[in-house]
Amino acid sequence: METRSHNPKKKKPVIRIHNLCKRFGEQVVLDNFSMELYEGENLVLMGKSGSGKSVMIKCMVGLMEPDSGEIEVLGNDILKLKHHEMDELRAEIGFLFQGSALYDSMTVQENLEFPLRRHTKRMDVNNTDALVEEALESVGLEQTKELMPAELSGGMQRRIALARALILKPKIILYDEPTTGLDPITAKEIILLMMNIQEKYKTSSLIITHDVDCARVISNRMILLLEGTNYAVGTFAELSASEDPKVKAFFK
Ligand SMILES: Nc1ncnc2c1ncn2[C@@H]1O[C@H](COP(=O)(O)OP(=O)(O)O)[C@@H](O)[C@H]1O
Ligand SMILES: [Mg+2]
């Protein structure tokens, strides 16, 4: 697989995070973390397990409240949004949760309809089937509508979760460890799929991963989360050539 690159500097940020702080009791998780996600780019966020990546992404979509800092999503200061305003904004953000997080008791079709029901304004009742079908087609699983998640392989579950994340045609997709727990071949398929989706839907994506192969293939830019802050930012080529031992440790 080839490395991709372009110049995202000219583009406008769709997410801007400034000096985000979050602690749980005595434990400081985020300590003045800042980053920007530019329109159309694939930004990879790497960090050790337990370093606060999921906490950061949850703050971004209003599932968790930071102690301080600024979070701007598509021009909205999300810490000032009212409940219903945040809900509307969430329709613009696809979220692939760590480990797929499908509803076990729902069929694939029902899982995909879930975000449509939550955002009724976007849902044309007559159109639901078409949206479900389009999303399933995007992940190559048109035949699975009536199946339960338990009947699917791990890779297929991840694809369905991806279909659910993009069914509202979001401007931004947040991927929390999209390849973790998958075998290398399935992981590669998911990465290719993410790249196809990027092409098709022109989304801006933040990808949390510690899969170096995934980062190499998919990132336009990378950011390393270390000691609660944005320790290093650059392209894969730049960061993987770094002499800083702390940065080097990520690429072993
Ligand atoms: N709701 C919570 N309450 C208390 N501690 C939490 C909570 N969520 C996360 N943490 C702690 O914050 C740290 C970062 O967690 P997380 O963001 O999930 O790490 P990761 O980088 O692996 O995604 C961990 O030490 C975790 O135990
Ligand atoms: Mg996590």
Average pLDDT over residues 170-190: 92
pLDDT band at residue 125 using 50, 70 and 90 as cut-offs? low
**What ligand 1 atom has the least distance to the C-alpha of 49?**
22
Per-residue pLDDT reduced to its tens digit, 111-120: 999 888 877 6
Amino acid present at 76: N
Residue 124 pLDDT greater than 70, yes or no: no
pLDDT at 42: 96
Cβ atoms of 215 and 180 closer than 8 Å: no
| Per-chain mean pLDDT for the chain | 90
Q: Which residue has the tokens 């170096």?
A: 212
pLDDT at 110: 93
**What ligand 1 atom has the least distance to the C-alpha of 64?**
1
Residue 197 pLDDT greater than 80, yes or no: yes
CATH 3.40.50.1220 is the classification of domain 11-92+202-252: no
Cα 56 to averaged position of ligand 2 atoms, centre (Å): 9
Tokens describing residue 130: 């078409």
**Following DSSP, what letter does each residue of 224-244 receive, concatenated?**
EEETTEEEEEE-HHHHHT---
Cα 78 to averaged position of ligand 1 atoms, centre (Å): 21
Q: 7 vs 231, which has greater pLDDT?
A: 231
Q: Where are the domains of the chain?
A: 11-92+202-252
Residue 6 pLDDT greater than 60, yes or no: no
Residue 91 CA to residue 73 CA, distance in Å, equals 12
pLDDT at 151: 95
Residue 160 CA to residue 136 CA, distance in Å, equals 7
Identify the three-state secondary structure at position 54: helix
Cα 55 to averaged position of ligand 1 atoms, centre (Å): 6
Cα 224 to averaged position of ligand 2 atoms, centre (Å): 14
pLDDT band at residue 126 using 50, 70 and 90 as cut-offs? low
Residue 242 pLDDT greater than 60, yes or no: yes
**What ligand 1 atom has the least distance to the C-alpha of 98?**
23
| Residue 77 per-residue DSSP state | E
Cα 98 to averaged position of ligand 2 atoms, centre (Å): 7
Q: Which alpha helices (DSSP H) does the chain contain, by range? A: 53-60, 83-90, 108-118, 128-138, 154-166, 184-201, 212-218, 236-240, 245-248
Which of 88-97, 191-200, 240-249 has maximum average pLDDT? Answer: 240-249
Percent of the chain whose predicted confidence (pLDDT) is above 90: 73
Whether 51 is in the pocket of ligand 1, judged by its Cβ within 6 Å, is yes
Residue 82 pLDDT greater than 80, yes or no: yes
pLDDT at 129: 87
Whether 149 is in the pocket of ligand 1, judged by its Cβ within 6 Å, is no
Cα 150 to averaged position of ligand 2 atoms, centre (Å): 23
Tokens describing residue 145: 């509508």
Which protein residue's CA is at the shortest distance from atom 5 of ligand 1? Answer: 24
Average pLDDT over residues 122-145: 85
Average pLDDT over residues 70-80: 96
pLDDT at 98: 80
Residue 175 CA to residue 96 CA, distance in Å, equals 5
Mutate to test the pocket of ligand 1, among 28, 29, 30, 176 (most ligand atoms within 8 A of CB): 29
Average pLDDT over residues 16-44: 97
Would you give the distance in Å from CA 203 to the centre of its chain?
11
pLDDT band at residue 9 using 50, 70 and 90 as cut-offs? low
pLDDT band at residue 7 using 50, 70 and 90 as cut-offs? low
**37 vs 41, 133, 179, CA distance in Å?**
7, 30, 21
